Chains A and B, each alone.
Chain A
């Protein structure tokens, strides 16, 4: 048993963290809100150069051939900066789905993703809308019992504004000419896998978002003075932050455990993911609530950066399965006939 990340995994996380915190500043995010498509192709190219778009692409297709477990710490860092680009979606959802579909489709698109030349997005019926459909070169869409692959010419998009201005959401009408790439049970399994990976990506980002909100708030409450002292010295303020710290700290292990489970293809992967999504998004929601509270009226302003992270946390909590969906999945696991739960079911 070993519940640790390797030296290499931690070093990679560190370098990605450095890059993202330098490049993806709140100012740059605010600028992207004003741009036409909300996306920053220069940044995407930089991410591709670092190997991040191709991280989970097999080496034979020009990627790094790494797993969800290798990516999970990086997804946390994407959350920490509230990265608007669909990197987590690409590495966690689109690439693994393409790999599973295989064949010519994978041969064609995986190298382009790794090179940063193409974006592929996945749309599941669990989600109301499709993220980043406007910049997609290929869309993999669940249509009832099948999955179809559609080119931009085969879809009609209707933009929906998100509470998080960084998120670009689209209702997608797909033409009958789109290619069916999976059907029946196979498609169902692929949809479940994609949903699990999407939820895992949200969970990992939620950890980063919560951490960012904590860091911002600890700094603010250590500086802001009232009654002749820093407000962070008051227990009423401290306890808000301590509750967030506990919630966040204890959401980490389930997320890492879920990443391991997904990467290893364990039978309980869906259950592990639901656990991770539930607690990580709860931690981020609690962070948002308490961090705004300790900021006082400043936390309610557009000017203070807190809402960038708070809104993404809010959005991610309710996509790729909301809390009710994931709690229900955990409940089904517990109440299933012959469920193995107690002592000895640690892993």
Chain B
């Protein structure tokens, strides 16, 4: 065990810190601390430009292998990258779904042709991705996907019909990875395919969903005869579930580091406010801040521990991936409540009209979604108990 960074890594820290200091200026200065969770609707154009700026400096996809255009950074360097990115207040990444999910999935499961076609756009920060999993009838029961993909022999293309929902950033995205049923007679996780679908085409319609924040990051996406080239299915027809689950593994890996640093910035803001308005003098508030601090540290330690690659002698780390979602979502929701209690009576007063929320108010509302999307807390507990602890499975009603 060695809980410190090498001199070489500290030099890397200086390099990224200096680059951010030099480049997060001018037109980009207003993006500082913006675009995080609950704030993703802000400055979409400017943040896309920022994505390209990052790419010019070689700071997108830092953990990807060099052969795919990445920087080939070690785990330590990725930790440092995310720390410095957050410390500089650099904005929420619009390219994170491509960089963190679509790209690694293609690197792991894609054909050489798919890699050549899609990875450069992600690395360049010029092509954005969204994730088409959930449907009106496939929420917690994610495998109950109804969107159909039919191979049309005449055109040699896959034709998609159906509806996705809760699709983050669909309105900004160039591509969507979609799970759809390739075998119309199949049920549950069998008979699905994983498709790479171009968003800008007549068969795709995006409708924003207005959230309790009054803003729209989530969308409904309708596929009505949407086309997808024959070579744009990842894996074979029927392999969709396997690919989709592989992707979830990436969601729980290095990309969590960036999320934790955003959380750190939010917590710092709450602490700062508590110092200023005197709420920090209240012992109950202090203890809740202490707890929030302690639990965020836990998330970071666990990320490091997981990335260090040790499977615990007590078999503990296999559970790590299962429990992270429940832990961070619950933590974040509590942070929202803490933020409002620190604000005190001012917490209900808006920044301005119409419905202009402060960052903390927006966060307080947004965190309500954290314990729901990506598997509700209740679903997570089922998974932890059954797969993590080995408790008996709940009897299922036979699928029709």
Query: Which residues of A does B touch, CB under 8 Å?
Result: 1-6, 10, 13-14, 69, 73, 76, 211, 214, 218, 221-222, 229-230, 232-235, 237-239, 241-243, 245-246, 249-254, 256-257, 260-261, 264, 275, 278-279, 324, 327-328, 330-331, 334-335, 341-344, 346-347
Contacts and interface: CB of A to CB of B under 8 A. Distances in A.
Interface string B117-139: 00000000000000000000000
A249 B316 contact: yes
Nearest to B385: A238
B322 to A, nearest CB: 9
A347 B301 CA distance: 9
Interface string B3-29: 111000100010000000000000000
Contacts of B310: 3-5
A4 B301 CA distance: 11
Given A238-B382, A250-B298, A250-B327, 13 more contacts: A76-B314, A233-B394, A237-B391, A238-B394, A243-B381, A249-B302, A250-B295, A253-B304, A331-B290, A334-B289, A342-B264, A343-B82, A346-B83
B319 interface: yes
B395 interface: yes
B39 interface: no
Interface of B: 1-5, 9, 13, 75-76, 79, 82-84, 86-87, 261, 264-265, 268, 271, 275, 280, 286-287, 289-291, 293-295, 297-302, 304-305, 307-310, 312-314, 316, 319-320, 323, 326-327, 378, 380-382, 384-386, 388-395
A3 B3 CA distance: 7
A323 to B, nearest CB: 9
Contacts of B265: 342-343
Interface centre among B280, B308, B314, B380 (most CB of A within 10 A): B314
A193 to B, nearest CB: 19
Contacts of B297: 254, 275
A250 B323 CA distance: 9
B60 to A, nearest CB: 19
Contacts of A346: 79, 83, 300, 304
A76 B310 CA distance: 18
Contact of B289 (A6, A238, A257, A331): A331
Contacts of B5: 1, 347
3 closest Cβ contacts across the A-B interface? A343-B87, A238-B385, A253-B301
Contact of A330 (B280, B293, B378): B293
Contact of A343 (B84, B286, B287, B323): B84
Given A238-B382, A330-B293, A245 B388 contact: yes
Nearest to A263: B1
A342 B265 CA distance: 7
B302 A245 contact: no
A246 B320 CA distance: 9
A256 B300 contact: no
B388 to A, nearest CB: 6
Contacts of B280: 335
A245 B389 contact: yes
Listed residue (B83, B264, B294) with the most chain A CB atoms within 10 angstroms of its CB: B294
A73 B312 CA distance: 11
28 contacts: A5-B1, A6-B1, A73-B313, A218-B390, A221-B392, A222-B390, A230-B392, A233-B393, A234-B394, A235-B378, A237-B391, A238-B394, A242-B326, A242-B385, A246-B326, A249-B316, A249-B323, A250-B295, A253-B302, A260-B1, A324-B287, A327-B291, A330-B290, A330-B293, A331-B287, A341-B293, A342-B86, A346-B304
A266 B388 CA distance: 34
B385 A249 contact: no
B264 A254 contact: no
A346 B312 CA distance: 21
A77 to B, nearest CB: 10
A343 B290 contact: no
A235 B2 contact: no
B302 A341 contact: no
Contacts of A254: 294, 297-298, 301
Contacts of B289: 331, 334
B1 A3 contact: yes
A252 B264 CA distance: 21
Contact of A222 (B82, B261, B392): B392
Nearest to B380: A242
Contacts of B389: 214, 218, 241-242, 245
Given A278-B294, A331-B287, A335-B275, A256 B323 contact: no
A14 B313 contact: yes
Identify the interface centre among A4, A238, A239, A346: most chain B CB within 10 Å of its CB: A346
A251 B171 CA distance: 40
B305 A253 contact: yes
Given A222-B391, A233-B393, A254-B297, A327 B1 contact: no
Given A238-B386, A239-B381, A335-B280, A4 B305 contact: yes
A82 B13 CA distance: 45
B74 to A, nearest CB: 9
A334 B319 contact: no
A203 to B, nearest CB: 12
A246 B384 contact: yes
Nearest to B299: A250
A106 to B, nearest CB: 27
